[in-house]
């Protein structure tokens, strides 16, 4: 689920100087408030448009990705991040540790799940993959698990089904998200730390706040990249497609794969969809190869570089 809203703080806005108006803050969501409430507090502190990706229930803590400014355009990718959780499961009767290990192994891999009745999504049967499950400890009826899984996996349902398989019944007692994609607990900041950093920024010291704001490209470290000429960037910002003559270098990618488009200074221009595999073309070759799906730079950030008679309306780039 994605939420977006404007910060309502009428005073000085610490996030106004965000480079190109985009960034991500990884918040350690506490138990109690909803994800929407936490995102609203962050928006009020920073005074900028915000959104959050990967909703956590009120009683669940851990990593909550807060997107700042036009970083909300990353939402579709952030929602697909693999997740990691530490879960405390309570069995309804004690069982032997070996039985727990056997059932944990049986639930590792592809499993069927149906969203809980309280879920906001349709309760359709779905397949999710439990990539890894570690039993961290067993004490009486309490079982501590670490679970690495696909996005959209319901840990509450996982505990219920494991309880059925053990023949004892079980439920999820506590849950904490410890990883989302490349972001782990070492990336997190508490709401209090953010408030302190905003207060310092308002007083003229932005060092702590700037250290908390992660660039948008950090959210997509595994995507193949395409480096384009500076003279091509403004046309991309106006909606043009990218031709080979505007490309300096690129990684390997498949047709229809999402790629990161970078400037010569390694600035994150945006995301694009490959119209052809990288093996079929080379930098400098004529023809259209990338169509932009998400642009983070604003028009005018780089000087206009298309030739007369070849405007963004023509939907392709010819670098000077």
Of 156, 180, 204, which residue is a domain's last? 180
Q: Is residue 157 domain-resident?
A: yes
Domain shared by 193 and 156, yes or no: no
pLDDT of residue 317: 44
Domain holding 290: CATH number? 2.30.130.10
* 3-state secondary structure (DSSP) of residue 145: strand
d(CA 319, CA 304): 10
Q: Please list the pLDDT of the chain residue by residue as tens digits (320 residues).
A: 334 444 444 445 665 545 446 899 999 999 999 999 999 999 999 999 999 998 999 999 999 999 998 889 889 889 889 999 999 999 999 999 999 999 999 999 999 998 877 766 777 899 999 999 999 999 999 999 999 999 999 999 999 999 999 999 999 999 999 999 999 999 999 999 999 999 999 999 999 999 999 988 888 888 899 999 999 999 999 889 998 888 999 899 999 999 999 999 888 899 999 999 988 888 878 888 899 998 888 888 888 865 554 444 444 444 43
- What is the set of active-site residues? 57
* 3-state secondary structure (DSSP) of residue 265: coil
Range of the domain at 125: 83-180
Domain shared by 199 and 69, yes or no: yes
pLDDT of residue 21: 61
> Is 318 within 8 Å of 291 (Cβ atoms)?
no
Q: Is residue 320 domain-resident?
A: no
Domain holding 44: CATH number? 3.30.2350.10
Of 165, 196, 217, which residue is a domain's last? 217
Domain shared by 41 and 168, yes or no: no
Number of domains comprising the chain: 3
Domain holding 105: CATH number? 3.30.70.3190
Domain shared by 187 and 162, yes or no: no
Domain shared by 130 and 171, yes or no: yes
Nearest CA to 209 among 224, 194, 189? 194
Domain shared by 206 and 227, yes or no: no
Domain shared by 193 and 56, yes or no: yes
d(CA 139, CA 242): 59
Domain shared by 189 and 166, yes or no: no
Domain shared by 152 and 296, yes or no: no
Q: Is residue 256 domain-resident?
A: yes
d(CA 233, CA 231): 6
Domain shared by 159 and 98, yes or no: yes
Of 170, 195, 217, which residue is a domain's last? 217
Q: Is residue 6 domain-resident?
A: yes
pLDDT of residue 228: 93
pLDDT of residue 195: 97
Domain shared by 75 and 88, yes or no: no
* 3-state secondary structure (DSSP) of residue 292: strand
Q: Is residue 319 domain-resident?
A: no
pLDDT of residue 139: 97
Domain shared by 303 and 166, yes or no: no
Q: Is residue 198 domain-resident?
A: yes
């Amino acid at each position: 689920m994605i939420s977006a809203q404007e910060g309502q703080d009428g005073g000085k806005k610490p996030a106004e100087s965000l480079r190109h108006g985009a960034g991500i803050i990884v918040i350690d969501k506490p138990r109690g408030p909803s994800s929407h409430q936490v995102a609203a507090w962050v928006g009020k502190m920073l005074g900028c448009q915000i959104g959050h990706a990967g909703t956590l229930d009120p009683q669940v803590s851990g990593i909550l990705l807060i997107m700042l400014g036009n970083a909300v355009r990353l939402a579709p990718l952030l929602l697909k991040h693999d997740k990691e959780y530490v879960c405390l499961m309570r069995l309804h009767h004690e069982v032997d540790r070996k039985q727990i290990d056997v059932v944990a192994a049986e639930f590792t891999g592809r499993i069927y799940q149906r969203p809980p009745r309280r879920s906001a999504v349709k309760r359709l049967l779905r397949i999710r993959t439990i990539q890894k499950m570690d039993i961290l400890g067993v004490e009486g009826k309490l079982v501590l698990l670490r679970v690495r899984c696909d996005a959209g996996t319901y840990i509450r349902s996982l505990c219920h089904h494991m309880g059925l398989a053990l023949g004892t019944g079980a439920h999820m007692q506590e849950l904490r998200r410890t990883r989302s994609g490349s972001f782990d607990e070492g990336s997190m900041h508490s709401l209090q730390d953010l408030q302190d950093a905003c207060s310092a920024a308002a007083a003229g010291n932005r060092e702590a706040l700037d250290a908390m704001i992660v660039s948008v490209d950090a959210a997509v470290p595994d995507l193949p990249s395409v480096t384009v000429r500076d003279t091509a960037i403004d046309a991309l910002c106006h909606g043009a497609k990218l031709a080979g003559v505007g490309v300096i270098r690129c990684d390997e990618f498949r047709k229809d794969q999402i790629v990161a488009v970078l400037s010569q200074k390694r600035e994150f221009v945006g995301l694009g969809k490959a119209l052809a595999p990288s093996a079929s073309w080379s930098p400098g070759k004529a023809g259209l190869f990338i169509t932009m799906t998400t642009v983070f730079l604003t028009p005018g950030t780089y000087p206009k570089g298309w030739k007369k008679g070849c405007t963004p309306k023509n939907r392709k780039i010819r670098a000077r």
